[in-house]
Amino acid sequence: MTPLIALLSSAGWAQSGDAPPIEGLSESWGPRMQVSVEVGTLGNRDAAYDLFADGNQMPSRGVRVGYRVLERLEVFAGWHHLGRGSVVQLDSPTDTEADFATTRSEFVAAFTAEEFTLGPRVDISIEDRFYPYASAALLVVRGLARLDDAPNSSANIGQIRAAGVGAGLLAMGGAEIRIPVVDDWHVALHAELGYGWVSPIGLGDLGQMQPGGVAGRGGVGIRF
């Protein structure tokens, strides 16, 4: 036996073919899959949005799934749905009886959207419980605007509907807390804050709308 082989054998790993441990690398990546339910919001300061809601935020709810491809890198995809609406009242002057009375009419203005995200997330582990992270995702928003003076009728010929799609980016920073349940199953709670930008969404005769601004999301799920 050569001196080198003897030295490796005495270390206890040469005969088995195992490499020596590398300090700083964990033996396991932990749970690979993530499934979460979320609530969130995306800013929208566009004046066109004022017709559908008060304030400059678009609250939403949805789901997120993720898969860890490297020890500190995860790829995730998400879907959020939002719906906002208001009743708009209009006063128009009439002169049918020469009394200059006004006639009040109203219609429903509704805006719904589907938000789709896809991108990477990188994190660091603190005591295998607390995980600060940052993410950057492609953001696609499909918006649908509807003006309807007879919302209870599905055959209203006076209804105006228009849909369009915008694309952009969603950059977020946040933290996740994991609570082990059994084996590699964990309950995971996360919260994040960042900024979203979306290209203008064309809405036909209703013009266009460009959401974007401060964004926030939070949720609970499982990792396994």
Q: pLDDT tens per residue, the chain (224 residues)?
A: 554 444 334 444 334 444 444 444 344 677 899 999 999 999 999 999 999 998 999 999 999 999 999 999 999 999 999 999 887 766 666 555 555 556 667 778 999 999 999 999 999 999 999 999 999 999 999 999 999 877 677 677 778 899 999 999 999 999 999 999 998 899 999 999 999 999 999 999 899 999 999 999 999 999 99
- Is residue 107, in this structure, part of any structural domain at all? yes
* Distance, CA of 159 to CA of 63 (rounded, Å): 32
Q: What's the domain count of the chain?
A: 1
204: containing domain: 28-89+102-223
- Is residue 10, in this structure, part of any structural domain at all? no
* Distance, CA of 67 to CA of 132 (rounded, Å): 17
- Report the pLDDT value the prediction gives residue 181, as an integer from 0 to 100: 94
- Is residue 213, in this structure, part of any structural domain at all? yes
- Is residue 33, in this structure, part of any structural domain at all? yes
Is the Cβ–Cβ distance between 139 and 115 less than 8 Å? Answer: yes
**What pTM did the predictor assign?**
0.79
- Is residue 156, in this structure, part of any structural domain at all? yes
- Is residue 3, in this structure, part of any structural domain at all? no
Which residue from 86, 76, 173, 81 is spatially nearest to 131, judged by alpha carbons?
173
Contacts of 152 (CB under 8 A, 6+ apart): none
CATH of the domain at 47: 2.40.160.20
- Is residue 22, in this structure, part of any structural domain at all? no
- In the block, which residue shows the tokens 């082990």? 180
